[in-house]
Homo-oligomer: A and B are copies of this chain.
């Protein structure tokens, strides 16, 4: 590969001049010299070596992004992560527009900090983007502690002040419930995540908002919680079916497509036809959900916009400018498909 020396020799100037011309800094260079340098650089196909540049400027122009460690390959429910693959794509693209690249790495799920620590100490990256943050997240704690630049897709412990962008699950679920209400539903139930799930609780709050605003009752048993599995969806549906017909929900909101699928599957097994007798809303717009029978109405996270907002935020931080905003909520998009219909005349069979 040609170096700056080759360009200098070719153009008959010093390497400093070449550097000035190519970096268009505020140093006077005669038009003739500039032309000669540019021409020489073009001719020999010169491109500045990033490693050398990075060493000099003590940066890397690399943003660390960790994959989730998936459960063992054949674990049930293990291979469902419908959002993050695309998120990484949009993140990479936004980063490139800002002159950065993504360095993707993995870490053992039990203890992430040594991996982050090593990347910091060896000067591998300039910053991190976190995903899937939870309450009391050890990565957030560690990076805050180290005062190392990062942004996060997702919130964490409320008292911690750090830059994040998150899907507004509360507003999203609220919009979903309002949509059901607009279809005529009054008996709407929700299947959430366990109580220790931050985002699960936000989404649940959105349900409560909408029900309260519409003056609809939330009877005992309408709010169920379960882990992120298809099985949990089946079980929740079975529980609702145990209620007397005139008390059963006519519509169900969930916090994930996977759980919505469980509900749909169990409903079919029990002879309840989703999209006719029952309405269901998922969350995530996972691949394939549009091909379910009926196609699933769901809340799509605006991961493209989230990625862009995160990079904008990170850029400001790395340039030591004050970021415009450091806590951004993005409303999900309600993707209307076939699984929601007006409630049937009489209660469920």
In contact, B105 and A103 (Cβ under 8 angstroms): no
Q: Which residues of B contact A288 (CB under 8 A)?
A: 80, 258, 261, 286-289
In contact, A104 and B106 (Cβ under 8 angstroms): no
In contact, B101 and A101 (Cβ under 8 angstroms): no
Could you tell me which residues of chain A, from 291 to 322, have a CB within 8 Å of some CB in chain B? 291, 293, 304
Could you tell me which residues of chain A, from 257 to 292, have a CB within 8 Å of some CB in chain B? 258, 261-262, 265, 268, 286-291
Q: Using known A-B contacts A55-B51, A286-B287, determine if residue A106 contacts B89 with beta carbons closer than 8 Å.
A: yes
The contact of A123 among B50, B73, B106, by CB within 8 Å, is B50
In contact, A122 and B85 (Cβ under 8 angstroms): no
A41-49, A156-164, A171-179, A184-192: which lies at the interface: A41-49
Number of interface residues of A (CB under 8 A): 56
Q: Which residues of B contact A105 (CB under 8 A)?
A: 92, 96, 101-102
Q: Which residues of B contact A89 (CB under 8 A)?
A: 67-68, 70, 106
In contact, A50 and B86 (Cβ under 8 angstroms): no
Q: Using known A-B contacts A1-B123, A67-B89, determine if residue A102 contacts B101 with beta carbons closer than 8 Å.
A: no
A54 at the interface (CB under 8 A from B): yes
Most buried by B among A76, A85, A121, A258: A85
CA distance A328 to B149 in the complex (A): 42
Copies in the complex: 2
CA distance A89 to B291 in the complex (A): 26
Q: Which residues of B contact A82 (CB under 8 A)?
A: 287
Judged by DSSP, the binding face of A is mixed
In contact, B118 and A47 (Cβ under 8 angstroms): yes
CA distance A293 to B76 in the complex (A): 16
CA distance A156 to B340 in the complex (A): 45
Q: Which residues of B contact A93 (CB under 8 A)?
A: 106
The contact of A81 among B52, B62, B85, B92, by CB within 8 Å, is B85
The contact of A88 among B62, B67, B124, by CB within 8 Å, is B67
Q: Which residues of B contact A54 (CB under 8 A)?
A: 51
A238 at the interface (CB under 8 A from B): no
A168 at the interface (CB under 8 A from B): no
A230 at the interface (CB under 8 A from B): yes
Q: Which residues of B contact A67 (CB under 8 A)?
A: 88-89, 92
- Beyond A84-B85, A92-B105, 4 additional contacts (C-beta under 8 Å) are A65-B104, A67-B88, A68-B89, A82-B287
Interface residues of A (CB under 8 A from B): 1, 45, 47-52, 54-55, 58, 60, 62, 65, 67-68, 70, 73, 76, 79-82, 84-86, 88-89, 92-93, 96, 101-106, 118, 121-124, 230, 258, 261-262, 265, 268, 286-291, 293, 304
16 example contacts (A-B, Cβ-Cβ < 8 A) are as follows A50-B123, A50-B124, A51-B51, A51-B60, A65-B104, A70-B86, A80-B288, A81-B287, A92-B104, A92-B106, A96-B105, A101-B104, A101-B124, A103-B103, A286-B287, A293-B293
